[in-house]
């Protein structure tokens, strides 16, 4: 709250003078009685006790009118852009093995669907999962199977990420793209993060040197071993480290996994005994870049991992703020008018004086 015309508040200094003059005008009684002893013995009536009310109402009305003249304004704060925070690239495996079943919220869903659901909660926030959301962070997405592709550039507009997620599908099992290029995907994500400041400057229209990204991180989610691509995963992790990027690796699936099988008896879950991601490789990649490796055998375990990453990678937000002011004098003026009107009615009825 601020006052556009604060000089008007100086009129408040005149309020005590007005009150004193009003008291003087009351003067002596018009009708003089030879004795008031009997009246004193009877005690004051409720009307007499409350005779000060009209004067107080006039005084408050005057104060409210002066406040209205000072033009109080309420500032509506709006965040214009981001100047310091965290930039995160989500790197998601979409090979056919991610279609295997995984326990999630009391049921079974494919690993891919579970990863997408928990990722949305990580970005948007979910109180039940203990996730606070990442509203101040630059978020981008890279998906990979045989080839790595950027499906969402680094952005502060997180609403678009959900649409990109919905359109992301698994590759055809046994098809020409059904392999896992972990190294290429991490290298691509690192390259995107390397120029995060330039990306932020383009989105906000501010100079590049205005921004300082506190931390850059890659979150890799995969359930397979690297078996394709041009770049070795460890080399990609070293590249990330060179550019000051931490790598958090999450292995999806356990040592004994389930798959959906369509048979003449309908769709059912079949235990395969096949393991999930190669944890040794993921651990080596994380250690190489100064990050951390995790293994998620269920959706609840994945939420727990995201909570830890959420704690490790918190933004220190500095923003440019603009204040949009809204005039607030009208409530004060209306209240003053209402008090004057009410005082006039009471003075002409309940508190009427005999001339």
Domains of the chain: 2-76+327-348 (no CATH), 86-316 (3.40.50.410)
- Distance (Å, whole) CA 141 – CA 166: 13
- Distance (Å, whole) CA 316 – CA 188: 26
Q: At what angle do helices 196-204 and 182-194 cross, to 10 degrees?
A: 50
CA distances from 52 to 18, 19, 57, 58, 351 (A): 15, 12, 9, 10, 10
Strand 72-84, strand 258-263: pairing: unpaired
pLDDT tens digit at each of 355 positions of the chain: 677 788 888 888 888 887 777 666 655 555 565 665 655 665 666 766 677 777 788 888 888 888 888 888 776 555 444 445 789 999 999 999 999 988 888 888 999 999 999 999 999 999 888 998 888 888 999 999 999 999 998 888 888 888 888 889 999 998 999 999 999 999 999 999 998 888 777 777 777 776 677 789 999 999 888 988 999 999 999 999 999 999 999 999 864 444 445 555 555 544 443 445 578 899 999 999 999 999 999 999 999 999 999 888 876 645 444 455 667 788 888 888 888 888 888 877 876 765 5
Q: At what angle do helices 52-69 and 329-348 cross, to 10 degrees?
A: 160
Q: What is the strand order of the sheet 318-327 is part of?
A: 2-3, 72-84, 318-327
- Distance (Å, whole) CA 59 – CA 55: 6
- Distance (Å, whole) CA 97 – CA 222: 9
**Whole-structure pTM value:** 0.61
Contact (CB, 8 A) for 251 and 223: yes
Q: What is the pLDDT of residue 33?
A: 57
Q: What is the pLDDT of residue 38?
A: 59
CA distances from 210 to 82, 116, 127, 195, 320 (A): 10, 33, 33, 14, 11
- How many helices (DSSP H) and strands (DSSP E) are in the chain? 12, 13
Residue 288's φ and ψ, nearest 5 degrees, are -60, -35
* CB count in 10 Å sphere of residue 295: 19
Q: What is the pLDDT of residue 135?
A: 84
CA distances from 234 to 45, 189, 286, 302 (A): 93, 14, 9, 24
Q: What is the pLDDT of residue 77?
A: 52
């Amino acid at each position: 709250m601020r006052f556009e015309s604060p000089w008007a508040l100086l009129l408040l200094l005149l309020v005590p003078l007005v009150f004193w003059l009003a008291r003087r005008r009351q003067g002596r009684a018009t009708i003089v009685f030879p004795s008031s002893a009997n009246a004193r013995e009877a005690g004051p009536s409720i009307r007499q006790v409350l005779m000060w009310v009209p004067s107080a109402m006039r005084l408050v009305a005057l104060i409210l009118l002066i406040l209205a003249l000072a033009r109080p304004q309420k500032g509506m704060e709006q965040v214009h852009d981001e100047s310091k925070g965290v930039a995160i690239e989500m790197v998601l495996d979409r090979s056919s093995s991610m279609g295997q079943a995984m326990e999630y919220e009391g049921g079974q869903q494919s690993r891919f669907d579970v990863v997408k659901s928990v990722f949305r909660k990580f970005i948007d926030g979910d109180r039940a999962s203990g996730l606070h959301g990442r509203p101040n962070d630059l978020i981008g997405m890279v998906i990979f199977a045989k080839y790595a592709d950027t499906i969402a550039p680094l952005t502060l507009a997180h609403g678009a990420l959900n649409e990109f997620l919905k359109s992301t599908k698994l590759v055809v099992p046994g098809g020409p793209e059904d392999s896992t290029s972990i190294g290429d995907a991490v290298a691509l994500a690192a390259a995107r993060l390397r120029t995060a400041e330039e990306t932020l400057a383009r989105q906000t229209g501010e100079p590049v040197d205005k921004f300082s990204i506190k931390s850059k991180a890659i979150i890799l989610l995969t359930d397979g071993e690297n078996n394709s691509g041009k770049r070795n995963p460890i080399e990609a992790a070293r590249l990330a480290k060179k550019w000051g990027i931490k790598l958090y690796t999450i292995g999806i699936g356990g040592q004994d996994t389930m798959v959906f099988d369509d048979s003449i008896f309908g769709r059912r879950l079949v235990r395969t005994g096949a393991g999930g991601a190669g944890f040794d490789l993921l651990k080596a990649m994380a250690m190489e870049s100064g990050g951390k490796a995790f293994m998620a055998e269920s959706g609840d375990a994945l939420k727990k991992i995201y909570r830890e990453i959420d704690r490790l990678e918190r933004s220190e937000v500095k923003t440019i703020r603009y204040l949009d002011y809204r005039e607030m004098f009208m409530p004060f003026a209306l209240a003053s008018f209402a008090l004057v009107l009410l005082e006039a009615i009471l003075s002409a009825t309940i508190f009427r004086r005999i001339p």
